[in-house]
Structure 1
């Protein structure tokens, strides 16, 4: 399957390892958030583990509202330019900050967004085919080793200094405390142990 993700977290707190506490999910708020995101009356069709929730099927959204954060996963979030989803993010976030990581290993593509009510803190999107599509704001600390050549690509003619999918998994680790590919550390949660409701609109 590789790494595929389109995950958005809304929170008033810093997001690091935020998935360590997923107790107390509010079902009513989750449904309301799904309705707001999908634009219609949602129908819950079960729950899925987080590692699958981050890339639901087309037309579906995996949505959960926890005491300290909300999470929305949908392919609608996976835009080549992170700035294209800012209007939707602002509508969902209110006074909270938002963090999004999207990636698709078949394209070796990743986009990362950090946003606050004051505006975009960081937006970057890149792939070997499209190059650097968007690069806004100050690079985040975990990005710097990638851009500095610490993770070189061993492929002749590759158009970027690193694999974007590796950056995407590192963004998941730093932002949310889990990864889809690579070596887990002691601070990573197991995404297979976290369940997220999946919603469809009829």
Structure 2
């Protein structure tokens, strides 16, 4: 199969029964967090890569079975972060067998921790990267985790995929801005996936507390009302 055919063929395998339409291109740095129903992917000999928010599951061990089957005889990696809730998840499967999975956030704690920590994790668990209080913000107690998930997430991204999204690039990092990924609009023709997504969003709106507003005054952040803004 020619290289130009490999990526569409990968999308067909990842999303059986879905409606698939080619839709533009983004570089790797931009493609890691696509909009709903968009997938950015690349398939070349020896490597399949797909960026899709559908893969952002709280517990990587619950990834759908058909995706794990695609990793038979190969190493498969998953990486997901969400800065709004300081959430990180990453996982490694060897020939379909889960060997390492970690998912955690300050709000939910450690949701999954399977397998031995990888070498790049060790200093984080040892307390070498504590979260320091932000100057000026009101004290709300110590950070509930021994490190910030997004800090470890960038380290995991570099060690597993060879590039970072934030922080200082290193000489051997993959030039993510220079790697183009074709885009595909991938939709559930029954509409069930879209309806479930909207229902989850509505449920989150209903349980969300009232917004809080802060301003920087006299060297510290103070909570204010909307009328004060």
TM-score > 0.5, shorter chain as reference: yes
- Which residue of 56, 78, 88 corresponds with 1:100? 78
User: Structure 1: which 4+ aligned runs deviate by more than 4 Å?
Assistant: none
Compare relative contact order (CA 8 Å, sep 6+) and give the higher one, 1 or 2: 1
User: Is the contact made by 2:14 and 2:67 (CA closer than 8 Å) also made in structure 1?
Assistant: no
- SS of 2:57's partner is coil
- SS of 2:98's partner is strand
- Which residue of 47, 52, 61 corresponds with 1:83? 61
Aligned length: 178
Gaps of 5+ in 2: 134-140, 188-229
What is the TM-score normalised by the length of structure 2? Answer: 0.74
- SS of 1:142's partner is helix
For residue 222 of structure 2, what is the aligned residue in structure 1?
none
d(CA) in 1 for partners of 2:72, 2:121 = 27
Gaps of 5+ in 1: 1-24
- Which residue of 97, 100, 104 corresponds with 1:122? 100
What is the TM-score normalised by the length of structure 1? Answer: 0.83
Query: Is the alpha carbon distance of 1:94 and 1:127 closer, same or farther for their aligned partners in structure 2, counting shifts above 3 Å?
Result: same
- SS of 2:152's partner is helix
Cα root mean square deviation, aligned: 1.5
d(CA) in 2 for partners of 1:88, 1:114 = 16
1:32 and 2:9 are equivalent in the alignment: yes
Measure how far apart 1:86 and its partner are.
Answer: 5.2
User: Is the contact made by 1:89 and 1:98 (CA closer than 8 Å) also made in structure 2?
Assistant: no
Matches within 5 A, 1:163-182: 163-182=148-167
